Amino acid sequence: MNQSQIGKFIKSLREEKNLTQEQLAEKLNVSNKSVSRWENGKTMPDLSLLVMICEEFDITISELLNGRRMSIEELKELKDTVERLINYSMEEQSFKAKKVNRFLILGILFTILAILNNYIPYLDFIFRENIAQFVSGLFYGLGTSFELVGLYNSSNRISLKERKKALKKDK
């Protein structure tokens, strides 16, 4: 986004419609100084005004933010790009949700196995007594760990790998 280019574009659109800065400002419920600052590239219109500006000049938000009229092909290409980004984002969220669900399921499974061992000491049949107690404790620990990791990731939606990457970038 080039603020100066956007300002020049707003000015040219205003002049095409034979509007003064005061008239445009009145239509948008802003001061004429605001319009002047936009056109000089000193400031950008508030986000809440973008739709109103686009409606006034019969342009798309993409055209406004690019600071020029766009061809139909460019708009279609932009639309396709945005749709691909949205699809990618949805696939990424789905993948992360499945990963979180795996942690939660594993946590529940290990916890259930440990609890069942208290009622039906099946581990005593498989291992010696001391080892059976160790495995039972291990199941409790794994269950708790997987549940905590699953709950943490579900609430934050950021994987540990992503956090490590962010920390490396900050250094």
* Domain count within the chain: 2
Q: Mention every residue, 6+ apart, whose C-beta is less than 8 A from residue 66.
A: 1, 5
Cβ(39)–Cβ(10) under 8 Å?
Answer: yes
Q: What is the dihedral of CA 120, 125, 129, 131, to 10 degrees?
A: -100
One domain, residues 61 and 97: no
pLDDT of residue 66: 84
Residue with tokens 């943490």: 152
Question: In terms of residues, how long is the chain?
Answer: 171
pLDDT at 157 over 70: no
DSSP single-letter state for residue 1: -
Amino acid at 37: R
Domain for residue 77, yes or no?
no
Confidence of residue 14 (pLDDT cuts 50, 70, 90): very high
49, 66, 83 - which closes a domain: 66
Q: What is the dihedral of CA 38, 41, 47, 52, to 10 degrees?
A: 40
Domain match, 103 and 166 both: yes
**Residue 129 placed within a domain:** yes
* pLDDT, mean of residues 93-113: 83
Domain hosting 58: range is 3-66
User: How confident is the model at residue 25, as a pLDDT?
Assistant: 93
Asked whether residue 56 falls in the same domain as residue 112, the answer is no
Which has more pLDDT, 46 or 170? 46
Q: Are 114 and 139 within 8 A, CB to CB?
A: yes
In-domain check, residue 84: no
Return the pLDDT at 77: 84
- The enclosing domain of 33 has a CATH number of 1.10.260.40
CB contact at 8 A, 64 and 53: yes
Q: pLDDT digit string (tens) for 59-99?
A: 988 888 888 888 888 888 888 887 887 888 888 878 877 87
* Domain assignment present for 81: no
**pTM passes above 0.85:** no
pLDDT digits (tens, 9 = 90+) for 40-67: 989 988 888 888 999 999 998 888 888 8
